[in-house]
Each structure stands twice: as C-alpha cells, then as structure tokens.
Structure 1
C-alpha cells in the first residue's frame, strides 16, 4: 500500500493568519480608543467638576474669613492732620484729590478676576464665588460665577449681569432653570448683603441676544420679555439645553433690600 503525502497549502494559511492578526490589532485599537474616550468623558464630566467645586468652595471660605477678620478688627484712630487719604489708600482706593476722586457713594471697583463676592441661591442650594470677568480660563472654568465687566456692580442701579457654566467645571448654574418668580438671590460682598427677587425667566434665547444685559434689560428676540423702567436689576445667564451651548437661559431679578455689614 502506497503511503500518501499530505499536501500543505502554505499560502492560504499565511493569508489567514495575517488577516486574523490584522483583525485582532484592529479590535485592540478600537478597545484602546474607547477606553481613552471614556477617560476623557469622565475627566470632563466628573473630575473637572470636583476640582472646580472644591476650588470654588475654598474661595468662598477664604472670602468669608477675610470679611469676618475685617469686621472684627478695630478701626485705627485718625492721626492729627490726616485728611483721610491714608485711610482711603489702605482700603484700596485712590488718594484724595482731583485726579483720584471717586464719585460720592460709589463702592470701590472689584479687582480684576479674583473673587470678590459670594452668590447664594437658596432654591437650588447654590453658594459660589463671584469674580470679575467672564473669561473661561480665568473665571468660569474655576467654578466661579463671572460678572460682566461693563454691567452694574452689586447694589447699584442698572443691571448686575452674571454668567456661569451649566455643565462641567463646577456647573454653578446647573439648576438655574428651577428658579421661579419670587425666589430670592443673595449677593454678599465685604460691604453688604444685597437681596434680589426673581421677576422673570426667559427659558431660551439666542447667544446674540445681548440686550438681556442692558441697564433696563429686555430681549431683542422675544419682544414681550422686557422691563421698561430704570431700576436695580440682576441678570443670570447660562447655556441651554444641558450639555450644549446652542441657546441661553436668562433669569431676571430686582433688588429688594440692602443690609450693610
């Protein structure tokens, strides 16, 4: 009986092994890419929130300690012949005189970017520092609420305009849509507590609707949403819907009371 020699088709096996390796490599790359994307999402949605919220909380504590220390410290008696310029300089204001005189009764301008006030909204359990400016890197991404530089300052007549993230980076305005007419919004500064009352909410408008920040605020997109008389207003703005920046959510309030420290 003649023994048969098996035939080995080397070329087919090589092609199959190469295809299997390519398929395996592609699967590994897909899994790796998925893991990287998942880590990026976790970092953006969870870790940045934790960092910003912790930093914002620490900033609020720092401000409150500064205010308490300032209130507890006894005022130094004026020196004979002192015209008040030394005290004014110590408070951070300009010296007296024609070139440095500030309008009577106007509070000192807040510093650029560092937090100088605390926003509290009891309805949504919010306590967040307020800083000058609305830049992302310098203010908003730190979990702060940003003050539009050309708007009124807390307690002044005009419109105090504030912005904050709704998602990620501390998301202080995450639940801003829950505010209703009659809710209170508090702004604490070194000088006083200003209590505003919510009067109107604009659920959705375009990012270009800048008249919502006017001294007498109104919407150029929704003409029925407007105030008509000068007053002391508050405007809170954030992105909407959640996890997008397509539109803006706007909450308007009016000043009800001022309580000096």
Structure 2
C-alpha cells in the first residue's frame, strides 16, 4: 500500500498478533486519541464483526437554523426544495403568483379584499346608480301600496257594513223597544199622531224570531238605520194605521245591514202570523202572498187594495217592503198579509205569541 501506516512497537509474534484488529490506543506511536480523531476507523458490527458504512449526518431543520427560505421549504412551506436559486424562484411564483397574491386564495377572500379596496369616483357613482331603483320599480311599488291600502279600506268598510252596523242597530232597537214598553207599563199615554222617528208599536214575526220597534216615517237616519222598521206616513206614500177600519198598513225595513229585520221575510208562507203590538191592542195578520221582485217605483203595492196581492176588495191589510237581491237595492220584495184578529191587551197575548 502507498498510504502511510504508523509503526508498531516491536515485539514477539504473539504480541504483534495480539495487536491486530485493535484500535490504536494511548500507547500508539502518534498519541492514540489524536489519530482516532484525524483518521476515524470503521465501526465493527458486534455480531458479524464486518465492516459497516457510517450513516450520513442529519441535515439541520428549520427550527435548528432559525431561518426559513425558499431553498428549505416547498411551495406549501412544508418540504425541502432543491435545485438552487432558480428552483426557489419557481416555488415563490407558485406560492404568490406574478403580483405576489396567494394563488390558493378562495374567491370569497378575493372578493372581500376587492371590496375593501377604495373605489374610484366613477366606480362609486356607477354602483350608486345601480343601487338606486328605476322608475318602473318605483311605479310598481306605488301601485302595490295603493292596492294594499285600497284592499284594507274595503275590508274595513265591509266589516263596518256587515257587522258593526248590525251591532249598533240592534242595540238602538232594543233600547227603543225597552223604552216603549216602559212607557206602556207606566200608563203613559201616547198621542194619536206621532212625530217622525217616534216609536209607537212593536212588530212580531214569530217564525223568524223577529221583535222590532215600529217608528213613524221611513227616514234612513232616524228610523231604518237605527234597526227599526218604518211606517209609510209621508205625503204620496201615506198608509193607514192598524186600528183603521179599512186600509193598508205599509212598513219598510232593511234586508241587510243595520239590524236587517226583514232579511228572511222571503221564507214566510201563507198562514204564517204577523203581529203588531200597540199600547192597547194586538193586531194579528196572516201572511197571504208575496211579490218576489218589483221596481222600486211600484208604489201601487201600498194601495188600500194592492192589485198584485190577490185581495179582491177593501179590507185591513199589512204590507212589508224590503230590498232584493240581498246586499243590493236594485229591486223590491213585497209581502202582504190580512188581519184576522184584533185583541185588546187586557185579554192577554194572542195565540201566535203564546205558542
């Protein structure tokens, strides 16, 4: 061999043989420890006593060096990247792109960053115009609000007409009936003629469970809208009173709203009783005929002997008039009756009110 070898101490063959395979110690020619440091000897396998290649030293980690560079980390910052400066540049481009923006950024994050960026004056005006509603949108909103308001007002009006007017009229009619009965019970005499709006009798229709005051006149405000029925007493439509020897006692009443006392008079049949109660007497009529539809101007139905009633001569009759069809005032419905009994109050109620 051409390499230098340290001399060994002379000795016997046995001594020399015994020194083979042993590392040079402190007694070596070159001082033992220094030689081992300069020329490390291969390690021996304990089992095979064969030579073994030493393991390469571990490379320092990022935590040990305290620095993180593109050469030591990959695109995601987790693995080593080789290849020198060019490789590090490529890794940096993959991470940040051309302008330094992260390529793995989500669309939502990019939109948030874009929103944070200040807008130019032109872009701000454009966005303001885009947010401002157009004329068509404003018009549609206005029309919609009008429709909603109109619908609410109509609903309130219908509620008022169909419900509240009945509640109020029933209360007013009941008060008028109670006042009238109190006057009769106290013996207070009523004059032979009555003022417009003044109550003077009670109308009973047992089949329909109707008991309602009768007032003088057919004024909507003073009589009909207060839940009462009115006696035709105006000039040109003047009819007889129940105690007249002959004649036609004509009454008008609402069919719908304001107490609607005549709502179901179309259900009356011939023979059904209709009773008029005054301070002194009961006048009992029997339903005779009905005219389902006629013109509002057909005042002949109030004649002393109505032509379409079926009556043949003078008598003591009653006529009930109301609007038809329901919830309209286009036509009139007429119901006629003929008196069959006149009974003093001193004799008690007639059979039609007792049963």
* Global fold match (TM > 0.5): yes
Match among 253, 257, 260 for residue 337 of structure 2: 253
Q: How far is 1:202 from its partner?
A: 0.9
Q: How far is 1:135 from its partner?
A: 1.3
Structure-to-structure mapping, 1:68-83, within 5 angstroms: 68-70=185-187
Match among 158, 162, 176 for residue 251 of structure 2: 162
Residue equivalent to 1:177:
266
Residue equivalent to 1:233:
317
Aligned CA distance change for structure 1 residues 256 and 44 (closer, same or farther; 3 Å): same
In the TM superposition, what whole-angstrom CA distance separates every residue of 1:105-129 from its partner, at most 9, and x where no partner exists? xxx2233321111001001111100
CA RMSD in angstroms, aligned pairs only: 2.4
Does residue 153 (structure 1) correspond to residue 241 (structure 2)? The answer is yes
- Higher fraction of helix: 2
Q: How far is 1:40 from its partner?
A: 1.0
Inter-partner Cα distance in structure 2 for 1:177 and 1:211: 20
Q: How far is 1:13 from its partner?
A: 1.3
Residue equivalent to 1:191:
280
Does residue 244 (structure 1) correspond to residue 332 (structure 2)? The answer is no
Aligned CA distance change for structure 1 residues 92 and 252 (closer, same or farther; 3 Å): closer
Match among 5, 21, 28 for residue 145 of structure 2: 28
Q: Larger C-alpha radius of gyration, 1 or 2? A: 2
Q: Is the 8 A contact 2:289 2:310 kept in 1?
A: no
- Larger RCO, structure (CA 8 Å, separation 6 or more): 1
Q: Is the 8 A contact 1:234 1:255 kept in 2?
A: yes
Inter-partner Cα distance in structure 2 for 1:110 and 1:188: 16
- Higher fraction of strand: 1
Structure 1: tracts of 5 or more residues without a match:
72-90, 94-107, 220-224
Does residue 61 (structure 1) correspond to residue 149 (structure 2)? The answer is no
Match among 160, 164, 174 for residue 47 of structure 1: 164
Inter-partner Cα distance in structure 2 for 1:139 and 1:154: 19
Structure 2: tracts of 5 or more residues without a match:
1-97, 102-113, 346-355
- Secondary structure of the 2:333 match is strand
Q: TM-score, normalised by structure 2?
A: 0.58
Residue equivalent to 1:104:
none
Aligned CA distance change for structure 1 residues 227 and 68 (closer, same or farther; 3 Å): same
Give the count of matched residue pairs: 223
Q: TM-score, normalised by structure 1?
A: 0.78
Q: Is the 8 A contact 1:155 1:255 kept in 2?
A: no
- Secondary structure of the 1:174 match is coil
